[in-house]
Amino acid sequence: MDELDSAILAELQSDARQTNRELARRLGVAASTCLQRVRALVHRGVIRGFRAEVDLIALNRGVQALVTVTVRPLQRRVIDDFKAAAAAMPEVLSVFVLAGNDDFLVHVAVPSLDHLHGFLVDRLSQRREVVSFRTSVVYQQVHNPVLAPL
C-alpha cells in the first residue's frame, strides 16, 4: 500500500459509484494507472466489493440492538452452527464470535421494540444451544466511512 493506493481507497469509500475517469481526475493520475491500481487492490483482496449503503429506517428497521449470546457446549460444531443460523436470520446484520464472558455479539435491526422482543423470545431463546443473552438497544450509531491503513 502506497499513498496512491490509500488515496484510491479513500475516494472509493466516499463514492464507489464514480467512474474510473473521475477517480483518476480527482487523484491526478492517468485513467489507465488508476484502473490498474484498482484492479490490483481487488485482486489482492484489499477491496472486497462495491456495495450500496442502505438506510435502515427506510427499510423499516429503525430499531437496532446488540445482543450478547452465550452458548453451550463450547464445541466447534455448536459455535459454527449457531454462527450460521444467526447470520441467516433476516433481522441480523452482523455476527461476531467473541473471546471472554460472551460467545457472540449479534447486531440486529428490526421495525420496533415489539419485534425485537419477539425476535429474542420466539427465535433466539428457542435455540437449544443458547443458555443466556443480554440485549442493549442502540440509540445512535456513528461509523467511520473511510478506513485507511494504520
* Domain-located, residue 77: yes
Q: Cell numbers 459509484 correspond to what residue?
A: 17
Residue 103: CB atoms within 10 Å: 24
What is the Cα–Cα distance from 26 to 11, expressed in whole angstroms? 8
* Domain-located, residue 57: no
Say yes or no: 75 and 129 in one domain.
Answer: yes
Specify whether the CB–CB gap between 8 and 27 falls below 8 A: yes
CATH number at residue 95: 3.30.70.920
Say yes or no: 89 and 122 in one domain.
Answer: yes
pLDDT for 43-98, tens place per residue? 999 999 998 889 999 999 999 999 999 999 999 999 999 999 999 999 999 999 99
Instruction: Note the pTM of the prediction, 2 decimals.
Output: 0.86
* Domain-located, residue 148: no
For residue 29, pLDDT beyond 90? yes
* Domain-located, residue 87: yes
Full domain range(s) for residue 31: 3-43
> What's the pLDDT band for 15 if we cut at 50, 70, 90?
very high
User: Which bin fits 123, alpha (ψ -120 to 50), beta or left (φ > 0)?
Assistant: alpha
